[in-house]
A = this chain, B = another copy of it.
Amino acid sequence: MSGSGKLPNIATDAVLKQSVPIPDDFEKVQGMDFSQDYAYNSRATDLIASMRNMGFQASSVASACDIINEMNSWRGKFKDELPEHERGGEFDDEGRQKATIFMGFTSNLISSGLRETLRYLVQHKKVSAIVASAGGVEEDLIKCLAPTYMGDFALPGKSLRDQGLNRIGNLLVPNDNYCKFEEWIVPVLDKVLQEQEEAMEKLGKDGLNADSAAIWTPSKLIDRLGKEINDESSVLYWAHKNKIPIFCPAITDGSIGDMLFFHTFKASPQQLRLDIVADIRKINSMSMEASRAGMLILGGGLVKHHICNACLMRNGADWAVYINTGQEFDGSDAGARPDEAISWGKIKAEAKSVKVYADVTVVWPLIVAATFAAKRP
């Protein structure tokens, strides 16, 4: 064809196909307005506002902020207007219903400098319950004993092991921190075991009922650890103080597990027990009693699935924000979009939900600064 001939209509028809008229409610893509002062060294709320119609994940970050503001500010009826059986759930200081917010985070976020931000949320009662992986519990405690340091993703493992430096991404945790943790936690475990055994001896005819003092669960142990650490820099401390349960069904999967393992030898033939059935009852009950439920899920794996599953018990969360780097193509739960959770009844079909595809450390400080921490409490 080249060199002569006339252009077939097929190409121009395809390339120059006309559009339908654009509906009035279409929103134009638009970024920062540099004619305004706000654009310079912007404040978080102005940055977020400029990202709303920017497209791609900028828009998702802005949506996440909208959803968070909505779940944070929602208020229902006053407690005394409600029939007795609806008086579960969360209430604000004036006695009005507010949303029960489940926040999940993975271990690495506590290892990172997000710990301070997560603690802020717990300290100021911005969330109602937490689901964490084992490391998310113990690293919070360990940081009260000794710091974690900046490292590099490329530091070679053998040399680090020789030096007793454990790597988490571009962070380093000296192994001595775990030695200090062992020294701190063993007496606590001794006490807990003693209390378990004393309660066992007092067991009545009903045996190990749900609330028996002889039953320790991960959330009960975590609450106790938060009390014992008694350190205002700690997420667990504030969770204990503010009665915000921290669920961690696989609490044995990490350093606490190592310590519990060692402790079984030390305490033999006695042995501390951690029952996970009472905890699933507890988290599911919170979900069912909630007047509204919001999910803030930072990272994937168990912490994501566990909160979603709890929200199935109420036929779906009312708001959901996921932030992680998982992709759906491999069928992983981490990668599943909120729409997959809708198919399961874990998020309501009419709920507002968003997934932000990003490393949490990159977006969470900005999101919190523009929402929960937009004003000093």
Whether B369 contacts A358 by the Cβ 8 Å rule is no
Q: Please, how many angstroms separate the alpha-carbon atoms of A117 and B158 in the complex? A: 34
Among B44, B54, B149, B271, point to the contact of A22 (Cβ < 8 A): B149
Give how many A residues have a beta carbon under 8 Å from the other chain's beta carbons.
Answer: 187
Given contacts A40-B373, A41-B375, A325-B332, could you give 20 more A-B pairs where the C-beta distance is less than 8 Å? A3-B269, A10-B288, A14-B345, A16-B179, A17-B175, A27-B149, A32-B116, A33-B116, A40-B375, A40-B376, A42-B44, A55-B170, A153-B328, A158-B349, A165-B343, A250-B302, A302-B302, A325-B327, A330-B361, A331-B361
Q: Please, how many angstroms separate the alpha-carbon atoms of A158 and B154 in the complex? A: 14
Q: Is A334 an interface residue (CB 8 A)?
A: yes
**Segment at the B interface, from A74-82, A222-230, A309-317:** A309-317
1/0 per residue A103-129: CB within 8 Å of B? Answer: 000111001111111001000000000
Question: What is the count of identical protomers in the complex?
Answer: 4
Q: In this complex, which of A29, A340, A374 has the most chain B Cβ atoms within 10 angstroms of its Cβ?
A: A29
Q: Please, how many angstroms separate the alpha-carbon atoms of A261 and B284 in the complex? A: 8
Residues of B within 8 A of A158 (CB): 342, 349
A244-272 contacts to B (CB < 8 Å): 249-255, 257-258, 260-262, 264-266, 268-272
Query: Which residue on chain B has the smallest CB distance to residue A303?
Result: B301
Q: Is A31 an interface residue (CB 8 A)?
A: yes
Query: Which residue on chain B has the smallest CB distance to residue A248?
Result: B250
Among B14, B349, B359, point to the contact of A358 (Cβ < 8 A): B359
Q: Please, how many angstroms separate the alpha-carbon atoms of A172 and B279 in the complex? A: 29
Among B29, B33, B57, B347, point to the contact of A149 (Cβ < 8 A): B29
Residues of B within 8 A of A316 (CB): 14
Query: Which residue on chain B has the smallest CB distance to residue A325?
Result: B330
Whether A113 contacts B50 by the Cβ 8 Å rule is yes
Query: Which residue on chain B has the smallest CB distance to residue A120?
Result: B34
Whether B273 contacts A208 by the Cβ 8 Å rule is yes
1/0 per residue A15-59: CB within 8 Å of B? Answer: 111111010001111111110010111111101001101111111
A92-110 contacts to B (CB < 8 Å): 106-108
Q: Please, how many angstroms separate the alpha-carbon atoms of A277 and B5 in the complex? A: 16
